[in-house]
Amino acid sequence: MNILEQALVQSCNIAIADLIYKPTEKALYAGEEKVLLEPRNLALLEMLLMRVGQPTSIEEFIESVWESQYVSKNVVTNRISLLRTLFRQHSQHGEPTEILVTYPKRGYYLAESHVRLLRTTLETAPFSQDVHQSQKAKNKRFRTSYVALAISFLIIAVMSIVNINKNDNTVVTTPYYPQVNLLLDVINYQDDQLVNLSRKLKTLLLYSQSRFPYTKLSNMSSPSYYLDNLLVKHQFPGSTVNSDSDYHLSFNLWQTDQGIVKLETMLHHSSSGRAAWRKVYQAYPSSLTDTVNQINSDLSQYFKLPAPIKPLSSKLLSSMNPDTPPNIEALSNRELSIVELQYYTRQLLFTDIDNETLKKWIEIVKRNTSTPIPDLYMQLALLAFQNGEKEQSKRILQNEYINDIPDNALALMMRANLAKRNGNSGLFVSDYLKTMSALTSTVQPEKVFLHYSRSDRQKACEKLWQDALPKVNLTDSTEIGSSISMFCDMRNMTEEIYQ
């Protein structure tokens, strides 16, 4: 809800708890006292007022408030803390964390229950302590309102019972979910001319759904999510997840005799496989982002989510060519979007590159995005690790952005090995247990549980990883394979723990 725009159009002020923000003055007041706001804090507050009730990510704050300058995550979180301190100092209503809310791993937002328009100059903030009526009158109004509210609830309850009796056979086809666990499954097609189109669709859908605050992309729980090649014909990366999803989303892509490309979108219940929703779209290669935006909008409406997904820009795929291996020299002369950076970083995992090329690519990433999203950090860490640059990978893994990645066994395993190399047995054991728990997203929980009691626990652990990553070469000759062997070898750590 863009309450800031509404206030400017209607010439209103905005109540935030019992503080008043005056948009025309760009000033925050506590009663008659003006609360001092630095320019960055003011811009941060206005951005929050433009999206009341909708989480704004740290990356979006940096892009808008800091104009994509290179700043760390801590800079933004410190500004958020400062705003909360101002609420604590000047507001008598509500906890600051209830006014300015943290949405785990998604961002921050102002709670709708604490924000509203003040439509007249005589109207005071809704929670102000400076009232002009006696406490007795307030109590009388409260009692009257309480009785009226109780009667209203009673009427609603009776009407609900009547409606249930009248409509025994009514089927609710559109459920409400505050957050949907969604698995992107497959894009099926027969015509090889549609290969590149399907790859671009995969890239856009993965990016948009992974960034949406009200969608938990279940693919990201799979350890194969970061290791699967987008060039694989049908599957989405991480589609092997066998739990943790409410719905599967799959697609059929074909071209009609008239040359029109059609995209059938099908939503199924994960538990039963029953169809929940279906729609056919036209998928023009020149306007693919429009098609994805429409799909996302329709899904948001179907689930009745609190807000629609942010539309994708048509420039996201401006220089992406999924038909050829990444050409670092050619890409270095272009301006690349975050989607293209993610795509090419993933594909470089399947390309033989030397350390000099790796350094060039990391520089390209830095030049094109001041604050890479957590997914991209993880992909860069894997790319450096695979090329033997373990110190570079270590530095990336220690970055605080990695902590924003949803629980993923591969990411947790690499972090556990980092603790092991540093001789931190306590942290290693903690991350080991978290890793094995996360592994149940793709491996039967019973198998994971039983491996703890096996005498040959290392082999049992390695077998679990083979089951989780069936398409990945896990021999000791590969970096990922040797890393798993190191993770599963508990001999030295066990001795340290018992000492």
pLDDT tens for each residue of 219-234: 988 999 988 888 877 8
Q: How far apart are CA 181 and CA 243, in angstroms?
A: 10
- What sign does the dihedral 423-408-106-383 (CA atoms) show? positive
The mean of the pLDDT values for the chain is 80
CA distance linking residue 353 with residue 357, whole number of Å: 6
Q: Which residue has the higher pLDDT, 136 or 102?
A: 102
pLDDT of residue 318: 62
What is the pLDDT, as a whole number, of residue 312?
A: 84
Strongest mean pLDDT among 126-130, 238-242, 404-408: 238-242
CB 16 within 8 A of CB 99: yes
pLDDT for position 40: 82
pLDDT at 153 over 50: no
List beta partners, residue 274. none
Rounded to the nearest 5 percent, the helix, strand and coil shares of the chain are 50, 15, 35
* pLDDT of 200 strictly over 50: yes
* Whether pLDDT at 129 is above 70: no
What is the distance, to the nearest Å, from the Cα of residue 280 to the centroid of all Cα atoms in its chain? 26
pLDDT tens digit string along 340-394? 888 999 889 888 888 899 899 989 998 888 666 778 888 888 888 888 888 888 8
- How confident is the model at residue 461, as a pLDDT? 94
103 burial (CB, 10 Å; 0-12 / 13-18 / 19+) is middle
Report whether 65 contacts 40 (CB < 8 A): yes
The alpha carbon dihedral of 51, 55, 61, 63 has a sign of negative
Which strands, in side-by-side order, build the sheet including 27-30? Answer: 33-35, 27-30, 19-22, 13-16, 115-118
pLDDT band at 465 (very low <50, low <70, confident <90, very high): very high
pLDDT-wise least confident of 9-18, 53-62, 167-176, 209-218: 167-176
To the nearest whole percent, how much of the chain has pLDDT over 70? 81
- Please state the length of the chain: 499
CA distance 463 to 439: 12
**CA dist list (Å): 223 to 49, 128, 129, 220, 483:** 38, 51, 53, 8, 14
Please report the pLDDT score of residue 155 as a whole number.
45
pLDDT of residue 126: 47
Q: Which residue from 472, 483, 479, 474 is spatially nearest to 225, judged by alpha carbons? A: 472
How many Å is the maximal CA-CA distance in the chain? 80
Q: Which positions ≥6 away from 211 have C-beta within 8 Å?
A: 57, 309, 310, 373
Q: What is the average per-residue pLDDT within 34-40?
A: 83
pLDDT bin (cut points 50, 70, 90) of residue 460 is very high
Is the per-residue pLDDT at 137 higher than 70? no
Give the whole-angstrom CA distance, residue 153 versus residue 157: 6
Which among 129-133, 151-155, 385-389, 456-460 has the top mean pLDDT? 456-460
pTM: 0.64
> pLDDT by residue (tens digit) across 101-123?
888 778 899 988 889 888 754 44
Which residue is it, tokens 């530095």?
A: 395
Q: Is the pLDDT of residue 252 over 90?
A: yes
Provide CB contacts within 8 A for 291, sequence distance 6+: 201, 263, 281, 282, 283, 284
pLDDT at 141 exceeding the cut of 50: no
Around Cβ 39, how many Cβ atoms within 10 Å? Answer: 9
Task: Give mean pLDDT, residues 74-79.
Answer: 79
pLDDT of 261 > 90? The answer is yes
**pLDDT bracket for residue 403 (50, 70, 90):** low
Question: Which conformational region is residue 113 in: left (phi greater than 0), alpha (psi within -120 to 50 degrees), or beta?
Answer: alpha
How many whole angstroms separate alpha carbon 216 and alpha carbon 210? 7
Q: How confident is the model at residue 463 (pLDDT cuts 50, 70, 90)?
A: very high
When mean pLDDT is compared across 111-115, 248-252, 261-265, the lowest value belongs to: 111-115
Burial of 116 (0-12, 13-18, 19+ CB in 10 A): middle
Q: pLDDT value at position 68? A: 58
Supply the pLDDT for residue 69.
Answer: 59
Instruction: For the beta carbon of residue 411, count every other beta carbon within 10 angstroms.
Output: 26
Q: Torsions phi, psi of 149, nearest 5?
A: -65, -40
- Tell me which of 63-67, 167-171, 322-326, 440-444 is least confident: 167-171
pLDDT exceeds cutoff 50 at 134: no
How many other CB atoms are there within 10 angstroms of residue 165's CB atom? Answer: 8
